[in-house]
Each structure stands twice: as structure tokens, then as C-alpha cells.
């Protein structure tokens, strides 16, 4: 008997191939005769372009063409982000190559097309761009002031959006509250740093007028619409195929100026054009994320119950919004999701998003939710410290209780089927919380500063079409699955859910295998090509299994019905007497069996054995989209134990535990790996990652020598446990998990560090927590505790950041 | 990027002062320097080949000498422009102090980087700048060294 497929820790089908170096990424695709592109990039954060002299570059060896914005006029439209439903005061539209103004360091100005990348790069050094430097506004808090220089000339304001959530700020609650606490957090910019940088190969046939694109991307169907729209080609004449993708994390969800330029050059020249970003230009041109300042206030009654939350968020967008999804998601999520796991009656949040002379920001794992979670959970810890209550107990008292129900919160979030209490109880038992607290006290006497932090988190997964559809952004929100029985008796599946390393194809295979009574190894899942996949979103908002898996389940059920129907005819028995297992049909009454392979052979090659008019259809295509509900809410809890070295400012993570509820777990191995990978990116943001800009807006750490990412040696074993509250909205019952660890992992680490520092009167309020910032916080804590003795007591002289 | 440093040179301020304004000496001593041309009393044009990490590009510079105090101090200000590779803008104050046996040359510079030069980052580029300055000073010290065996021609030309 085939063992159950769903719930089994099946390793990724292609893990061995990828680890062996046999992956096929964009740069591995051979294209004889293709031309290569290198970009001339802005050397200033903000400048007017007075002239571009390409004469010397055009004469360099191997150069076929030097392309500036004017060369693409009539071929390519500007990238405009309007989002009409949000009524943004400042339209964001820019041409892929700078026309007369550059607004961020690294903005593409010209493209060199040459026979090799090396030749293109050599020639790029000879393009002379005459700039007239303009004032650069770098800091978001400066950019929002009315008298600030504009990030882009001609705009009335740098303000992209000023939006308020909630109608009732609970002023009376704040006035009557027993306690009001306030928390401010600052997130510096970081970026996704996928192992495989962005790349594209675009071919245009002037005869058929078809554009064929290979690119490293999460959403091929979105890109088909993007190329079709910007290059004025009918969408059926555009094919986008994403081969193996080596990490994406949200940043490969956007349409970048470089990729649009390459496709436009393919149309211009009628050739095959390719571009692969090197690491330096990845740091300059990949979307950045996270830059925000958030302040939240919480009112509590005398029993320690939450009454009201008030939030202010300022989000830095860069000079333009990322195309086509915009850049405001981070700020909107951050503002609206503060307080998400808790019960309270009044909520108001104001979110302002501003343009500045930095690279555009965009989606990065969690999109705003890690910031909302960090602001919420640091606020709750501050409340616990203020009223002298254990942070675990304060959370327990204030959680939403919607284990088997749903609720619309005062912030307008639609929550359903969550297990907040169960996750907390599981986490406390897992961490031996009481023991850790005792040990923490004991070690303090030895001047060892340990901190225990926890964070409850909510993840909105499998988001439907209300976000982008309402804003007229052509992003597919459904997922689809086309499935057929092969003559070998195995199953071929085309899924719209794309795989950037998560292993979503393996999960889809398990769902199909379970439904059809075969082994997951006998299901081949292909994805990522608009020519063969059903139309679907790809990978965004943790939808692969929650939505793509549901589509696969529906398709497999339909195929199962068709197999049964044909099998019944061949076995001459009623379908209800036939069982399916181990890749075969079995009739209990006659003890006859028919393997899938035999059935498929009759269906495909020996139809003469069947009654006339019964042409078999051993295939099915089904789609699924979140309808009637905006998203599936997953939840969880992260606990973290750290030790802070108060002499060096270094933070060591000793333990990290996650309890997660993503509903029905299809593959515990891959779910756990998603959580661990997510936690690592959360840790990266809190401790290391920072896109540093100089005062004049120059990105100054564009290499992996200076931009730090967490390494295996700095990480603890990440322990993972599950609570399963099946999603009631789908028959599969799975919720998303892709962003969970990032959302809660960072927040728990914030709280753990601040728990350690609290004993010294210090607190961190800006990530990353670099050692110099930790030392400065300790020095401030020392001054606050003892102003008179501070200068003498502070033996640490933190360097200026 | 702020840089300060000093070196003791086995030469008189007169020799050092002359060498500092000598295009041939500057070209010989500065790593990667392809040419130095004196455009006027106070202006020099230079071409530098800079090779740091992923960067290998020629930079054209125009350096202006200002606020000279004869045999004591001078300020160099200017821009190095490497087209697509970026730019470096800045100024450096160079000071000489005579002592009994030698002359102390000290400098303090403030350099602002742009483009690829900035993005490459301090760890790579800052290190390279410091190494280049150290190399320059070592070569310069050798050129002006009063005890140098083959310094006759150099001394003679001063």
C-alpha cells in the first residue's frame, strides 16, 4: 500500500541536481550569436543630465550599438505606477533609461550592446555623461518636510501617499487608560541578496513579431503582461519562461528598468539580447526594502488589557515606485498590521510614504509584516516591563480568541482560524521558559547578560485579487494546475506556482500523488513557462501550496474521477466498487486490477477496445483563487535566547524556537526549511544587513565584503514545532508559510536583545544592531541611570556610525 | 573619507617643496599614474589607472593648488573623473615642518566618492587608497632622500 503522501517529509525532487551544479539558471542558457548588454549607471544620487557623449564608446571593439533613452522612444512606454484605488498624490512614472535626470545612484543611463559582456563593460567606461548635480534628499524624515528638496524635479511634493487606517483613534481610551506605552522603531534599508542575480535573455523575431524571454523571476505571467503593455505587443505574442531560479525573496517580483531595456533592445535590433547583473550592480539596482520609522502607542486598562493602539509610520520608497506593483505595500502592511494578534477596540494608523534619492524599494519576504510585528511585539514587551508583568502572560491575556471562528479587527484585518494561545503554550514548554528566566537571573549576578524574547506573528497568505486587481495592476491572483496521466502510468503536472528553491513543486506532487493513490516520485511537476503553464500568479504572498496546492488538489480530483470512469468501463464494474491505490484500479467484487499504465495505454493507443463515443480525457485543468475572503491568516510564535557581550556589543543567539500554524502541513521537511530560511533573513535584518548611503546619496557598501549577511557559523539550530488549524476556506486546508520566519524571527530577536539590555537601562530602537550601536545604547543607558557618574563610568567610546 | 597621516623625510623642505610641484616626480611616485601635466602655475592634469576589486578604469583629474605658504603648506583640490566608473572629489592639505635632521610631511584629506568608486565600499576602496598613499609616500621619500645614491639627477633638476 502506498504510504500517505501528504504530511510526509519528501525531499525536493531537484535538490540533488541543483546541489550537484547541474541547475540551469538564466546565465547557463546558451544562445549563440546573442548580444550582451552592460549598463552605464548614474554616478550621482540626483543630477540633471546635460549631455551624453557615446561617440568614443560606439567605436570600441565589439560594440554593436549604444542605446540611450531617445533610441527607445516609440518602442517602449514609461513605467507608470498609478494605483487609482489608493488615490496617490504623486504619480510615479519613469522611463527605463534616464532621459534628462538621474534620481538615484546606480540608475541606468545608457546600455552598451556588444558581442561580449567584457566588451560592453569596457565600452561603458567610455560613455561621457555630463551631469549637473542637484540637491539629493536621502533621509526619509527630511524628505517628508515640505521645504525638502524634491527627489524628482517637477514633483509638487516627495509624499507618495498619506493614508489613515481606522476611524476611531480611541482618544477617550488613551485618556482613561491606566497605562500608556510608546515604542519607536527604525528599520534601515536592506535587500534580498539572492545567490543568483537577476538575469534576462530576450529574443525578438521581426518576422513573427514574437518576443521570447527567459528571465530569473517569480511571476512569468505578470511579466508577460508587463512586456506586452510597455512594448505594445499583443500578450499572446510574448512568452516568458523562468528556468531554475536561484532565490528571489520578493525582489524578483518586479519589472526592472534593466530587464525592460533589454527586451526593448531586442525589439529595436530584432536580435537576441542578454544581461546578467553582477553583484555590485545588484546592490545598486535590486529593489531595497524595509526602510521605515514607526511609532506606536498602546493604552492598557488597570487589569493589563489592551484598549487602543495608535500608529504612525514613515516609509522610504526611493525615487520611484517599483513597477508594476508599487512600493507602498511595506508601509501599508506595517501600519495596518500593528497589533494584529491582539484583542482591542480602537485603532488608528497613519502611513506616509516618501520619495528620496535612493534606489526604489519593493517586495522583500514579509512585506511590511516583519516591521508591524516588530513594532507590535516590542510595544507589548515595553508594556509588560512598564506594568511589571511577565511578557508571556500579558500576551496570553490579550490574544484574539478565534480558534474556530473569524473576525474583522478594528484595523480592518479579516482574521480566521488562529491558534495564538496554543502556539504560546507550545513555545513556553519547548523553551523551558521558567527555567530560562531563573537562569537569566542567576547569570546576571555574574555580569552575564542574557535576554529572552518572544514574538507572536500573523502572516497574510494566499492573497486574492483585491489588492492589485482593484488598482488595475495586471497580476494574476489565481493559481492553476493542468494535469494528465502519461502512458507510463505516471502523472505530468503543469503548475502556475513557481519554484525559486522553496520546493513547491514537490508539495504539489505530494498533493496530486495522495489524491491519485500513487507515489510522489511518479508525479512530474513543471512550472514557470507562460507557453505551457496555466495562467497564475507564480510566487507572491506565500501562495504556492495554499492556493497552487488547492488548484492541484481540484485538478487531481477531477482526473481521479476520469480515471475511475474509464477504469469502470474497462473493468466492466460500477465505479463505486473500484478502489484506487498503488497506481492501479482494483475491483473488490471481481478481484480484477488495472494499472494506470495499462489504462493509459488503452486510452492513448488502443481506443478500438473502447465502446464508440467514449474518447477518454485523461487530463484536467483547474484553477483556484481566494474569493469571499481576502487571504488565509497563518500565525505562530518565535522565542529567542541571546547573550549580549557588553564589552564588545556583540550579540550571540543561543536558542531560537518557532511554533508555527500553517494549517495542514503538506511536507514538514520543506515547511520547516521555509521557516528556518525565513528566520535567518529576519536575523540578518536585525543584526547585519544594511544598505548604507552617504550623506550625498551614494550607496557605499555594494559588495558582500561590506554588506553583511548572516552566515551558518553565527546561527543557532532553529527548532521548529507545529500547531495545525486547517484553513476552513479550502478543501486542502493549507495556509502559506514562506514569510513566517522573517516576520516573527526578527521581532523575537529584538525583544531578546532588549530584554538583555533592560537590566542596564538600555534599549535598541534601530536595526541593524551593529556592535557600535549596541555600545552606544549601553552608554546612553549608563548616562540615564547615573547622569553624574556617566562620563566616568562609560569606558566605552562608541565610534560614530 | 577622511585621511590623515605623516612621514619623516630625509630631505630639506626646499627639496620636498620643489619635488611636490614636479610633474615628473609625481608621475613616477604615484601608483598607476599614466601622466601628469602642468597646465598653469596652479593647475595640473593627471591620468590615473585605478584597479580595485571589480573596478579597472582610467580616471582623468584636474588638480588645483591653493593657499600655498611657501615651504610650509599647500592645499590640493580637485576631481578625478572616471566616466562610468565614478568620481572622487576632494581636497588635501599638505604641511611641511622642518626639524633638525629631517622634514615632517603631514597631510589631511577629505575625499568624497561617487558611482562605482563609492559602491565598491570602504573595505576594498578605502584600503586601496591608503595603500596607494603609502606607496606614493615611500616612493616620494626615496626620490627626495638626501642620501640616495642615484639622486644626483633628481637633485640637479630641482
Number of neighbouring beta carbons within 10 Å of residue B73: 15
Task: Tell me what pLDDT residue B151 has.
Answer: 47
Please answer yes or no on whether A700 and B86 come within 8 Å at the CB atom.
no
Task: Tell me what pLDDT residue B130 has.
Answer: 86
Q: Which of B83, B119, B122 sits opposite A284 (nearest CB)?
A: B119
Comparing alpha-carbon positions, the chain B residue that sits nearest to A707 is B121
Q: Which of B84, B112, B121 sits opposite A40 (nearest CB)?
A: B84
Q: Number of Cβ pairs closer than 8 Å across A and B?
A: 80
Task: Tell me what pLDDT residue A167 has.
Answer: 73
CATH 3.30.365.10 boundaries in chain A: 288-464+628-769, 478-624
Rounded Cα–Cα distance for residues A51 and A33 (Å): 32
Task: Tell me what pLDDT residue A2 has.
Answer: 63
Please answer yes or no on whether B115 and A40 come within 8 Å at the CB atom.
no
Instruction: Dump pLDDT digits (tens) for A682-705.
Output: 999 999 999 999 999 999 999 999
Q: Which band of pLDDT confidence, cut at 50, 70 and 90, is reported for residue A169?
A: confident
More confident residue, A399 or B130: A399
Task: Tell me what pLDDT residue A791 has.
Answer: 52
Topology of the domain comprising B2-147: Alpha-D-Glucose-1,6-Bisphosphate; Chain A, domain 4 (3.30.530)
Please answer yes or no on whether B124 and A284 come within 8 Å at the CB atom.
no
Taking Cα atoms as reference points, which of A778, A359, A569 lies closest to residue A793? A778
Q: What CATH number labels A288-464+628-769?
A: 3.30.365.10
List of chain B residues whose C-beta atoms are within 8 Å of the C-beta of residue A129: 83-84
CATH 3.90.1170.50 boundaries in chain A: 31-134+193-285
Cβ density class A316-338: b for 16+ within 10 Å, e for less: bbbbbbbbbbbbbbbbbbbbbbb
Q: Which of B53, B85, B118 sits opposite A699 (nearest CB)?
A: B118
Comparing alpha-carbon positions, the chain B residue that sits nearest to A108 is B84
Instruction: Dump pLDDT digits (tens) for A58-98.
Output: 999 999 999 999 999 999 999 999 889 988 887 788 999 99
Task: Tell me what pLDDT residue A57 has.
Answer: 97
Which alpha helices (H) appear in A522-638, and where do they start and end? 550-571, 596-605
Instruction: Dump pLDDT digits (tens) for A117-136.
Output: 999 999 998 999 999 999 99
The C-alpha of B106 sits at a distance from chain A's nearest C-alpha, in angstroms, of 24
Task: Tell me what pLDDT residue B5 has.
Answer: 92
Using a CB–CB cut-off of 8 Å, the residues of A that contact B are 40-44, 105-106, 124-129, 278-280, 283-284, 694, 696, 698-703, 705-707
Please answer yes or no on whether B54 and A278 come within 8 Å at the CB atom.
yes
Comparing alpha-carbon positions, the chain B residue that sits nearest to A285 is B119
User: pTM above the 0.80 mark?
Assistant: yes
Please answer yes or no on whether A703 and B58 come within 8 Å at the CB atom.
no
Is the model's pLDDT at A801 over the cut of 80? no
Burial class (CB in 10 A: 0-12, 13-18, 19+), A109: buried
Sketch the domain layout of chain B as residue ranges: 2-147
Architecture of domain A31-134+193-285: Alpha-Beta Complex (3.90)
More confident residue, B107 or A1: B107
Task: Provide the 3-class DSSP secondary structure of residue A167.
Answer: strand
In angstroms, how far is CA A789 from the centroid of its own chain? Answer: 47
Among the listed ranges A193-197, A665-669, B77-81, which one has the minimum average pLDDT value?
B77-81
What is the β-pairing status of strands A632-644 and A108-114? unpaired
The C-alpha of B53 sits at a distance from chain A's nearest C-alpha, in angstroms, of 10
List of chain A residues whose C-beta atoms are within 8 Å of the C-beta of residue B2: none
Q: Which band of pLDDT confidence, cut at 50, 70 and 90, is reported for residue B84?
A: confident
Task: Tell me what pLDDT residue A612 has.
Answer: 85
Comparing alpha-carbon positions, the chain B residue that sits nearest to A700 is B119
Average pLDDT (B113-140) is 87
For the domain with range A478-624, which CATH number is right: 3.30.365.10, 2.130.10.10, 3.40.50.1100, 1.10.150.130?
Answer: 3.30.365.10
The C-alpha angle B112, B118, B123, rounded to 5 degrees, equals 105
The C-alpha angle A775, A781, A784, rounded to 5 degrees, equals 145
Rounded Cα–Cα distance for residues A280 and A198 (Å): 12
Best of B53, B59, B114, B126 to substitute, by most chain A Cβ atoms within 10 angstroms, is B114
Rounded Cα–Cα distance for residues A801 and A649 (Å): 14
Please answer yes or no on whether A105 and B122 come within 8 Å at the CB atom.
no
| Residues forming a β-bridge with A116 | none
Best of B57, B90, B112, B121 to substitute, by most chain A Cβ atoms within 10 angstroms, is B121
Rounded Cα–Cα distance for residues A150 and A161 (Å): 15
Task: Tell me what pLDDT residue B156 has.
Answer: 39
The C-alpha of B98 sits at a distance from chain A's nearest C-alpha, in angstroms, of 34
The C-alpha of A198 sits at a distance from chain B's nearest C-alpha, in angstroms, of 18
Write the CB contacts of B11 (distance below 8 Å, at least 6 apart in sequence).
B19, B102, B103, B144, B145, B146
Best of B49, B118, B125 to substitute, by most chain A Cβ atoms within 10 angstroms, is B118
Cβ density class B117-139: b for 16+ within 10 Å, e for less: bbbbbbebbbebbeebbeebbeb
Q: Which of A42, A279, A696 sits opposite B112 (nearest CB)?
A: A696
Please answer yes or no on whether A284 and B114 come within 8 Å at the CB atom.
no
Q: What's A365's DSSP letter?
A: T
Task: Tell me what pLDDT residue A800 has.
Answer: 41
Q: Which of B53, B83, B114 sits opposite A698 (nearest CB)?
A: B114
Comparing alpha-carbon positions, the chain A residue that sits nearest to B121 is A701
The C-alpha of A319 sits at a distance from chain B's nearest C-alpha, in angstroms, of 17
The C-alpha of B16 sits at a distance from chain A's nearest C-alpha, in angstroms, of 35
Task: Tell me what pLDDT residue B82 has.
Answer: 86
Q: Which of B53, B82, B119 sits opposite A699 (nearest CB)?
A: B119
Instruction: Dump pLDDT digits (tens) for A762-785.
Output: 999 999 999 999 999 999 999 988
Instruction: Dump pLDDT digits (tens) for A748-758.
Output: 999 999 999 99
List of chain A residues whose C-beta atoms are within 8 Å of the C-beta of residue B122: 700-701, 706
Amino acid at each position: 500500500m502506498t504510504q500517505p503522501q501528504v504530511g510526509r517529509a519528501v525531499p525536493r525532487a531537484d535538490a540533488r541536481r541543483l546541489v550537484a551544479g547541474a541547475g540551469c539558471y538564466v546565465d547557463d542558457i546558451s544562445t549563440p550569436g546573442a548580444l550582451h548588454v552592460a549598463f552605464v549607471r548614474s554616478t550621482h544620487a540626483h543630477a540633471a543630465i546635460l549631455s551624453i557623449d557615446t561617440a568614443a564608446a560606439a567605436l570600441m571593439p565589439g560594440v554593436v550599438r549604444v542605446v540611450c533613452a531617445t533610441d527607445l522612444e516609440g518602442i517602449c512606454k514609461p513605467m507608470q505606477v498609478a494605483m487609482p484605488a489608493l488615490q496617490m498624490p504623486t504619480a510615479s512614472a519613469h522611463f527605463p533609461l534616464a532621459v534628462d535626470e538621474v534620481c538615484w545612484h546606480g540608475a541606468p543611463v545608457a546600455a552598451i550592446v556588444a558581442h561580449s559582456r567584457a566588451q560592453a563593460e569596457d565600452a561603458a567606461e567610455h560613455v561621457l555623461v555630463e551631469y549637473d548635480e542637484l540637491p539629493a534628499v536621502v533621509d526619509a524624515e527630511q524628505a517628508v518636510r515640505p521645504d525638502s528638496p524634491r527627489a524628482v524635479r517637477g514633483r509638487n511634493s516627495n509624499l507618495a501617499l498619506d493614508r489613515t487606517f481606522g476611524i476611531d483613534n480611541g482618544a477617550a481610551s488613551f485618556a482613561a487608560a491606566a497605562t500608556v506605552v510608546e515604542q519607536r522603531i527604525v528599520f534601515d534599508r536592506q535587500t534580498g541578496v539572492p545567490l543568483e542575480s537577476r538575469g534576462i535573455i530576450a529574443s525578438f523575431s521581426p518576422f513573427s513579431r514574437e518576443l521570447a524571454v527567459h528571465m530569473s523571476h517569480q511571476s512569468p505571467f505578470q511579466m508577460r503582461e508587463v512586456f506586452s503593455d510597455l512594448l505594445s505587443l499583443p500578450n499572446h505574442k510574448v512568452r516568458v519562461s523562468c528556468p531554475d531560479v536561484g532565490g528571489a525573496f520578493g525582489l524578483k517580483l518586479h519589472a526592472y528598468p534593466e530587464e525592460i531595456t533589454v527586451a526593448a533592445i531586442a525589439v529595436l535590433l530584432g536580435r537576441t539580447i542578454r544581461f546578467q547583473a553582477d553583484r555590485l550592480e545588484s546592490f545598486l539596482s535590486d529593489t531595497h526594502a524595509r526602510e521605515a520609522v514607526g511609532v506606536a502607542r498602546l493604552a492598557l486598562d488597570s487589569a493589563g488589557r489592551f484598549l487602543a493602539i495608535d500608529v504612525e509610520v514613515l516609509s522610504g520608497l526611493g525615487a520611484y515606485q517599483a513597477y508594476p506593483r508599487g512600493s507602498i505595500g511595506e508601509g501599508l502592511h506595517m501600519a495596518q498590521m500593528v497589533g494584529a494578534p491582539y484583542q482591542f477596540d480602537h485603532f488608528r494608523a497613519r502611513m506616509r510614504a516618501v520619495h528620496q534619492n535612493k534606489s526604489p524599494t519593493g517586495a522583500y519576504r514579509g512585506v511590511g509584516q516583519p516591521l508591524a510585528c516588530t513594532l507590535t511585539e516590542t510595544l507589548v514587551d515595553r508594556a509588560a516591563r512598564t506594568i511589571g508583568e511577565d511578557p508571556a502572560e500579558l500576551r496570553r491575556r490579550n490574544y484574539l480568541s478565534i480558534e474556530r471562528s473569524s473576525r474583522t479587527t478594528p484595523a480592518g484585518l479579516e482574521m480566521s482560524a488562529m491558534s495564538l494561545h496554543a502556539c504560546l503554550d507550545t513555545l513556553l514548554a519547548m523553551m523551558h521558559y521558567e527555567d530560562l528566566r531563573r537562569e537569566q537571573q542567576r547569570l546576571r549576578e555574574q555580569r552575564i547578560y542574557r535576554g529572552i524574547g518572544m514574538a507572536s506573528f500573523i502572516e497574510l497568505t494566499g492573497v486574492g485579487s483585491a489588492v492589485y486587481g482593484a488598482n488595475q495592476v495586471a497580476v494574476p491572483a489565481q493559481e492553476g494546475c493542468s494535469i494528465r496521466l502519461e502512458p507510463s502510468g505516471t502523472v505530468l503536472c503543469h503548475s502556475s506556482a513557481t519554484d525559486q528553491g522553496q520546493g513547491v513543486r514537490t508539495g504539489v506532487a505530494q498533493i496530486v500523488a495522495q489524491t491519485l493513490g500513487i507515489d510522489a516520485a511518479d508525479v512530474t511537476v513543471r512550472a514557470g513557462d507562460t507557453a505551457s503553464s496555466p495562467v497564475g500568479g507564480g510566487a507572491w504572498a506565500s501562495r504556492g501550496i495554499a492556493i497552487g496546492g488547492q488548484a492541484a488538489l481540484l485538478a487531481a480530483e477531477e482526473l481521479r474521477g476520469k480515471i475511475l470512469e474509464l477504469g469502470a468501463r474497462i473493468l466492466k464494474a460500477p465505479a463505486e466498487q473500484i478502489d484506487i491505490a498503488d497506481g492501479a484500479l482494483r475491483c473488490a467484487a471481481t478481484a480484477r486490477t488495472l494499472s494506470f499504465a495499462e489504462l493509459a495505454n488503452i486510452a492513448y493507443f488502443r481506443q478500438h477496445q473502447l465502446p464508440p463515443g467514449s474518447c477518454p480525457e485523461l487530463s484536467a485543468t483547474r484553477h483556484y483563487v481566494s474569493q469571499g475572503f481576502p487571504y488565509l491568516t497563518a500565525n505562530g510564535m518565535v522565542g529567542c535566547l541571546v547573550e549580549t557581550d557588553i564589552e564588545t556589543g556583540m550579540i550571540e543567539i543561543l536558542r531560537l524556537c518557532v511554533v508555527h500554524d500553517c494549517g495542514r502541513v503538506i511536507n514538514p521537511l520543506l515547511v520547516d526549511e521555509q521557516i528556518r530560511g525565513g528566520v535567518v533573513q529576519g536575523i540578518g535584518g536585525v543584526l547585519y544587513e544594511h544598505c548604507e548611503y552617504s550623506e550625498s546619496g551614494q550607496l557605499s557598501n555594494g559588495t558582500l565584503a561590506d554588506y553583511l549577511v548572516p552566515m551558518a557559523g553565527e546561527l543557532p539550530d532553529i527548532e521548529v514545532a507545529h500547531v495545525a488549524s486547517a484553513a476552513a476556506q479550502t478543501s486542502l486546508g493549507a495556509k502559506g508559510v514562506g514569510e513566517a520566519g522573517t516576520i516573527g524571527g526578527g521581532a523575537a530577536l529584538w525583544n531578546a536583545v532588549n530584554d538583555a539590555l533592560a537590566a542596564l537601562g538600555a534599549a535598541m530602537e534601530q536595526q541593524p544592531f551593529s556592535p557600535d550601536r549596541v555600545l552606544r545604547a549601553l552608554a546612553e543607558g549608563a548616562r540615564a541611570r547615573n547622569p553624574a557618574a556617566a562620563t566616568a563610568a562609560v569606558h566605552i567610546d562608541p565610534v560614530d556610525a | 573619507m577622511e585621511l590623515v597621516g605623516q612621514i619623516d623625510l630625509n630631505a630639506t623642505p626646499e627639496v620636498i617643496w620643489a619635488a611636490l610641484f614636479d610633474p615628473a616626480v609625481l608621475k613616477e611616485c604615484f601608483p598607476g599614474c599614466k601622466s601628469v601635466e602642468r597646465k598653469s602655475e596652479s593647475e595640473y592634469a593627471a591620468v590615473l589607472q585605478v584597479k580595485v576589486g571589480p573596478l579597472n578604469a582610467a580616471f582623468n583629474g584636474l588638480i588645483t593648488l591653493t593657499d600655498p605658504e611657501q615651504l610650509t603648506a599647500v592645499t590640493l583640490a580637485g576631481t578625478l573623473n572616471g566616466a562610468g566608473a565614478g568620481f572622487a572629489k576632494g581636497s588635501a592639505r599638505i604641511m611641511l615642518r622642518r626639524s633638525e635632521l629631517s622634514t615632517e610631511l603631514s597631510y589631511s584629506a577629505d575625499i568624497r566618492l561617487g558611482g562605482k568608486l563609492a559602491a565598491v565600499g570602504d573595505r576594498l576602496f578605502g584600503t586601496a587608497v591608503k595603500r596607494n598613499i603609502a606607496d606614493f609616500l615611500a616612493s616620494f621619500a626615496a626620490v627626495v632622500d638626501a642620501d640616495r645614491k642615484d639622486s644626483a639627477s633628481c637633485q640637479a633638476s630641482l
